[in-house]
Amino acid sequence: MSEWAHKHVKNAFLRTLLIALLDVLYIARLGLSFESIGDNLLRFFETIGGVVWLFIRSLLFLGMPPYRLREILKQTDAAGWRSIPLIGAVLGFIGLIIVLELNFQLSRVVGNTAYVPGLAGILAFREFGPTVVACMFAAKVGASWAAEISNMKISEQIDALEMSSVNPVKYLVTPRLLASAAMLLALSAIGAAVAVLLGWFVSRQDFSFMAYFIMMSKFTRYADVGTLFTKALVFSPVVPVCAAWYGLRARGGARGVGEATTKAVVTSILLIIVLDFFLNSLADKLLKIVLE
Amino acid sequence: MEERAINLWSLGIFHLLGRIFINLGLLIEGIGARAIFLWQVVLKLAKRPFEVRELMLQLYLVGVRSLGIVAVSGFFVGGIIVIQFNYALGLFGARVYLGGVTTSGLLREVGPVLVAIMIAGRIGAFIAAEMGTMKVTEQIDAVRCLGLDPIPVLLVPRFLAVVTMVFLLTIFGLIIGLVGGAGTAWLLLGVNLSYYLTNLLKLTTVSALLLGMVKSFIFGILVATISCYEGYCASAGAEGVGRAVNRTLVYSSISIFLVDYIIAAIISITFTLAKSIIFTIG
Q: Does B103 touch chain A (CB under 8 A)?
A: no
CB-nearest to A140 from B69, B76, B250 is: B250
Q: Which residue of A has its CA nearest to B126?
A: A262
- B195 vs A102, A105, A108, CA distance in Å? 22, 19, 18
**pLDDT at residue B63 greater than cutoff 90:** no
Model-level ipTM above the cut of 0.90:
no
pTM above 0.80, yes or no: yes
Distance from CA of B3 to the nearest CA of A (A): 33
Crossing angle, helix B238-281 and helix B111-119, to 10 degrees? 170
Distance (Å, whole) CA B240 – CA B91: 51
pLDDT the model gives residue B79:
92
Encode pLDDT of B23-51 as tens digits: 899 999 999 999 999 998 898 887 777 77
pLDDT the model gives residue B10:
61
**pLDDT at residue A51 greater than cutoff 70:** yes
Percent of chain A topping pLDDT 70:
97
Lowest mean pLDDT among A226-235, A245-254, B254-263: A245-254
Encode pLDDT of B116-170 as tens digits: 999 998 899 888 888 888 888 888 889 889 888 888 888 899 999 999 999 999 9
pLDDT the model gives residue A206:
82
Distance from CA of B238 to the nearest CA of A (A): 7
Give residue B65's Cα distance to chain centre.
18
Lowest mean pLDDT among A124-138, B53-67, B128-142, B231-245: B231-245
Encode pLDDT of A155-200 as tens digits: 888 889 889 888 888 888 888 999 999 999 999 999 999 999 998 8
- The H-or-E segment that residue B271 falls in is helix B238-281
Confidence of residue B260 (pLDDT cuts 50, 70, 90): very high
Q: How many CB pairs under 8 A join A and B?
A: 175
Confidence of residue A112 (pLDDT cuts 50, 70, 90): confident
- Tell me if A127 sits within 8 A of A227, measured CB to CB: no
- Tell me if A76 sits within 8 A of A182, measured CB to CB: yes
CB atoms within 10 A of CB A229: 17
Distance (Å, whole) CA B85 – CA B67: 27
Confidence of residue B281 (pLDDT cuts 50, 70, 90): low
CB atoms within 10 A of CB B176: 21
Distance (Å, whole) CA A95 – CA A107: 18
pLDDT the model gives residue A32:
67
**pLDDT at residue B1 greater than cutoff 50:** no
Confidence of residue A17 (pLDDT cuts 50, 70, 90): confident
- Mean pLDDT, to the nearest integer, of A214-242? 89
- Three-state SS at B41: helix
Q: Which residue of A has its CA nearest to B88?
A: A119
**pLDDT at residue A37 greater than cutoff 90:** no
**pLDDT at residue B5 greater than cutoff 70:** no
Is the pLDDT higher at A222 or at A5? Answer: A222
Is the pLDDT higher at A28 or at B251? Answer: B251
- Mean pLDDT, to the nearest integer, of A253-257? 76
Q: Does B264 touch chain A (CB under 8 A)?
A: yes
Interface test with A, best of B246, B276, B279 (most A CBs within 10 A): B246
CB-nearest to B80 from A27, A259, A276 is: A276
Q: What residues of chain B, 208 to 237, have a C-beta less than 8 Å from chain A? A: none
Lowest mean pLDDT among A88-92, A176-180, A243-247, B88-92: B88-92
Using the beta-carbon criterion (under 8 Å), do B77 and A118 form an inter-chain contact? no
Distance (Å, whole) CA A273 – CA B78: 11
- Mean pLDDT, to the nearest integer, of A26-54? 81
Q: Does B267 touch chain A (CB under 8 A)?
A: yes
Rg (Cα) of chain A, in Å, rounded?
A: 25
Task: Report chain A residues whose CB lies below 8 A from the CB of B69.
Answer: 266, 270
pLDDT the model gives residue A256:
80
- Tell me if A180 sits within 8 A of A237, measured CB to CB: yes
Distance from CA of A61 to the nearest CA of B (A): 29
- A89 vs A200, A203, A273, B256, CA distance in Å? 16, 19, 21, 11
pLDDT the model gives residue B221:
94
Q: Tell me what the pLDDT averaged over chain A comes to.
A: 86
Identify the top-confidence range among A148-152, A285-289, B76-80: B76-80
- B182 vs B96, B112, B169, B191, CA distance in Å? 14, 19, 20, 9
Q: Does B20 touch chain A (CB under 8 A)?
A: no
pLDDT the model gives residue A89:
92
Task: Report chain A residues whose CB lies below 8 A from the CB of B125.
Answer: 143, 258, 261-262, 265
End-to-end C-alpha distance for chain B, whole angstroms: 75
For chain A, give the DSSP string. Answer: -HHHHHHH---HHHHHHHHHHHHHHHHHHHHH-HHHHHHHHHHHHHHHHHHHHHHHHHHHGGGSSP--HHHHHHHHHHHTGGGHHHHHHHHHHHHHHHHHHHHHHHHHHTSSSTTHHHHHHHIIIIIIHHHHHHHHHIIIIIHHHHHHHHHHHHTTHHHHHHHTT--HIIIIIHHHHHHHHHHHHHHHHHHHHHHHHHHHHHTTTT--HHHHHHHHHHH--HHHHHHHHHHHHHHTTHHHHHHHHHHHT--SHHHHHHHHHHHHHHHHHHHHHHHHHHHHHHHHHHHHHHH-
